[in-house]
Amino acid sequence: MAVNVRDYKNGFCHSDVVKFINEEVFSNGGGPAFYLTFHSQPWNEIENCLKFIVADPQVSHTIKRACAWSALALGVREAARQREQGAHYARRLHKEVGRQQAVRRNLTTKVQQLYGEHNEIALELQRAKEELKYALEERNVLRSRLLQFEQSHLKW
């Protein structure tokens, strides 16, 4: 059998389709050799091999047809594998997006907290500057009075 009906990774949903492909392969003089040889190979290698078979004038039309049916089955298998990988990749990306959103929320909360603390510190600093300004003014007034007092006592 070129395509195993029980293999869920073969890419086909209907056993009737698999049976038809296998019948086409066998009725055209092919066997499981092409499919089994290439079922774990990358698609470009399968296509290159099929190209050489199709281009070879010494290979009969029926064998070419059998290999083409096997290649079709391998192509569907590859598409199913890619779809499965794509779904796995999409699930991974979805989890990563969720994780990134949680990190973003945490960072947003932290930035808001720091912004609030910054505003509080800025207000405290402004108050401290005003208090320092007032203290300096008071010191200047007291110094001025002290100088006046000293000058008035020196005159006596």
Q: Would residue 1 count as lying in a domain? A: no
Residue 131 falls inside a structural domain? yes
Contact 3/73 with Cβ under 8 angstroms? yes
The domain tally of the chain equals 1
Show Cβ contacts of residue 32 under 8 Å, excluding neighbours closer than 6 positions: 1, 2, 25
As a whole number of angstroms, the distance between CA 35 and CA 18 comes to 13
The answer to whether position 124 is within a domain reads yes
- What's the pLDDT score for residue 123? 97
* 3 within some domain: no
39 Cβ contact list (under 8 Å, min separation 6): 74, 77
pLDDT at 13: 61
Amino acid at 28: N
- Residue at 31 is within a domain: yes
The predicted model scores a pTM of 0.52
Which burial class, exposed, middle or buried, applies to 46 when counting CB atoms under 10 A from its CB (0-12, 13-18, 19+)? buried
| Average pLDDT, 10 consecutive residues per value, the chain (156 residues) | 57 64 66 68 82 88 79 76 89 97 97 97 97 97 93 76
Q: Which residue has the tokens 């990134």?
A: 100
By residue range, what is the domain housing residue 105?
A: 8-154
Neighbours of 41 (CB within 10 A): 14
**Quick check: is 93 in a domain?**
yes
CB neighbour class for 143 (10 Å; exposed up to 12, middle 13-18, buried from 19): exposed
Residue 2, in any domain of the structure: no
**Is 95 part of a structural domain of the chain?**
yes
